[in-house]
A and B are shown apart, each in its own frame.
Chain A
Amino acid sequence: MSVWEYANPRRFMSLSARILPWVAGLAALLCVTGLAWGFFLTPEDFRMGHSVKIIYIHVPSAFIAINAWFMMLVTSLIWLIRRHHVSALAARAAAPIGLVMTVVALLTGAIWGKPMWGTYWEWDPRLTSFLILGLFYLGYIALWQSIEGQDQAADLTSVLCLVGTVFAVLSRYAAQFWNQGLHQGASLSLDAEENVADVFWLPLVVTIVGFVALFLALVLVRTRTEIRRRRLHALALRRRHA
């Protein structure tokens, strides 16, 4: 019994059918709890007022946007090395979610930035690197959609994901080098001296965990859809040749 047995589409389908309601339920519960807690039950920040509450969407979506690409990197590597189709399909399923999260993070940041920094957009390292991350998602999705052969598409996008990761990281440091910006440092970390105050911290962590569960649930749903779509395609091909 190894973890690789779940790379079999049939086993993946039966397992994911069983855990999907739980993951989705957990996601709904944690997101509702965290957001309601954050929006209604925390005090207003003494400097930022109401607008501090946008962090409950901004921070989790930014967190998912980065880690979705990381997950795609891992699943692409699994596809290249062990050639499990579910892995490639999971990478394909995650990309649009990552793109949406990037857009959400950029939009909420812009809405928050206007009253706080007096501008919607600033060419600041973090903002710029997020925009670039969005471009990488766009290219990746476009490549998937423009290739007919599924295995070939999986091969090409996997290599693109590897090369893209290196250059996404490079761009991040290039942007940092290029301009010093307005964005504050990380608000949550294990080793920093200064984190956000506890009242804000707890609901934020709940929301982040909720977003992770939401991401997992969405990836599972989309991967199942991809597997079903591929099965339908195979059936249609078989009928045409029969």
Chain B
Amino acid sequence: MIALLIRDLRLAIRAGGGFGLGLAFFLILATLVPLGVGPQPDRLGPIAPGILWLGALLACLLSLDRLFALDAEDGSLELLATAPIPLEGVAAIKALAHWLTTGLPLTVAAAPLSLLLFLPPAALPWLVLSLAIGTPALSWLGTFGAAVTVGLRRGSLLLSLLVLPLYIPTLVFGAEIVRRGGEGLSVATPLALLAAITLGCIALLPFATAAVLRANLR
């Protein structure tokens, strides 16, 4: 399993495009928003939590269609399915590799980008914390969506239609944490709910992912 994780990480870093592309997208989005809505700090500050969360979510979505597609093309997905590790484990490792190459860098990059959007300084730790907790859920859900659409032509378009509704609760609670944190309100409830979503995703979604992979490989 560790070998698979290292292989996926290497592929993501060396193949170019996948890794870093999400970050570049995040940066461009943070640049375009002030151009679109106007650069005044008092206008950008209140919407910054939502924009940053939305940017992270879309950047995550961007790299999903490569998750299984390359493996399916060159046949290594069949090899993985017959490998001694269970398919559920493969799904979990794939999701972990995706999080390490997109979710984690996005979490780190969110802090400097929040300066561009005049996020209130009090909200900054909450932004980083909520992204660190919430982005694994995005990766696990995205792995499920990628597994559903793996064999399809024009699957990536369908992928976004399937995955974005699933992202809604994570987005709502994640942005709520940052907003409340910035205003100095209690963040315990959304934080607990977000953590519950992430833990539930990590625990249960590999089974769903493995089930749809089996259906797709049959």
The interface size of chain A toward B, counting residues with CB under 8 Å, comes to 26
CB of B205 within 8 A of chain A? yes
18 A–B contacts, CB within 8 A, in A order: A132-B165, A139-B161, A139-B165, A142-B158, A143-B162, A146-B154, A152-B218, A156-B215, A156-B216, A160-B162, A167-B168, A168-B165, A170-B197, A171-B168, A171-B169, A174-B169, A175-B168, A178-B176
Interface membership of A135, Cβ < 8 A: yes
Asked if B148 and A174 sit within 8 Å, CB to CB, the answer is no
A159, A162, A164, A168 pick with most chain B CB within 10 angstroms:
A159
Whether the Cβ atoms of B166 and A156 lie closer than 8 Å is no
Closest B residue to A138 using CB positions: B161
A152 CB contacts on chain B under 8 angstroms:
215-216, 218
A143 touching B166, Cβ below 8 Å? no
Contact call B169/A167, Cβ cutoff below 8 A: yes
Contact of A177 with B by CB under 8 A: yes
Q: What is the CA–CA distance of A155 and B148 in the complex, to the nearest angstrom?
A: 10
The answer to whether B148 and A136 touch across the interface, beta carbons within 8 angstroms, is no
Tell me how far the C-beta of A65 lies from the nearest C-beta in chain B, rounded to whole angstroms: 15
* Interface magnitude class on chain B: 20 to 34
Instruction: Digitize A127-168: 1 where CB-to-B-CB distance is under 8 Å, 0 elsewhere.
Output: 000001001101100110011000010011001101110011
Q: Does B203 contact A (CB under 8 A)?
A: no
Query: Could you tell me which B residues sit within 8 Å of A by CB distance?
Result: 144, 148, 152, 154-155, 158, 161-162, 164-166, 168-169, 172-173, 176, 189-190, 193, 197, 205, 208, 211-212, 215-216, 218
Q: Which of B152, B168, B216 contacts A146 (CB 8 A)?
A: B152
B158 contacts which chain A residues (CB < 8 A)?
139, 142-143, 146
Contacts of A177 in B (CB 8 A): 172-173, 176, 189-190, 193
Asked whether, in the complex, the Cβ of B166 is within 8 Å of the Cβ of A162, the reply is: no
Interchain CA distance A146-B190 in the complex, whole Å: 36
- Which residues of the other chain, A, contact B190 by a CB distance below 8 angstroms? 177
Q: Complex Cα distance A170/B152, Å? A: 28
Contact of B161 among A142, A163, A170, A178 (CB under 8 A): A142
Known: A132-B165, A159-B212, A163-B208. A143 touches B148 (CB 8 A): yes
Q: In the complex the two chains form, is A156's CB within 8 Å of B212's CB?
A: yes
Bound CA–CA A143/B168 (angstroms):
19
A135-B165, A174-B172 given. 14 additional CB < 8 A pairs?
A139-B158, A142-B162, A146-B152, A152-B215, A155-B215, A159-B211, A159-B212, A160-B162, A164-B166, A167-B165, A167-B168, A170-B168, A171-B172, A177-B189
